Amino acid sequence: MRWTRGQWLFGIAANLIRRHWRTERRRLRAYARTGVDPIGDEAAEVERRVDAVAAAPAVAAALASLGAGEREVLLLFAWADLSYDEISTALGIPVGTVRSRLSRARARVRELLSPTGQVSAEGATEGGTNG
């Protein structure tokens, strides 16, 4: 049997609705068993995401102030989730260099970000130069 585009889209929509209903039913059953509101957990996640979005410009400015070598190592470690050995291989540098660059990058970012998540005025103008 060959489906038309409308039938195909209707099938996809029906599957999505069924999946939504199953998920909702599981959440409600879990709530009934545990007393932990799954929607409340989602609200906390939304709040964390809003905080992350608000801090993003400050974090970007802090990352921009790092030297290229420190920034590469930090991003490969934090965002790409690579190990020290994998970073060493990817960048063609010794593991000891990876460790020292990562340590310097962490210290610099920590220094630049105040407790409120904002880049300090002097930190935003000072840039790292290591490569």
pLDDT digits (tens, 9 = 90+) for 92-113: 999 999 999 999 999 998 888 8
Output the CA torsion sign for 26, 27, 29, 33.
positive
Percent of all residues in the chain with a pLDDT value above 70, rounded to a whole number: 76
Supply the pTM of this predicted model.
0.53
Q: What is the pLDDT of residues 50-100, one digit of tens each?
A: 877 887 888 888 889 899 999 999 989 988 888 999 999 999 999 999 999
Contact, 90 vs 79, CB < 8 A? Answer: no
Contact, 105 vs 74, CB < 8 A? Answer: yes
Which pLDDT belongs to residue 115? 67
Long-range contacts of 75-84 (CB under 8 A, 24+ apart): 77/102
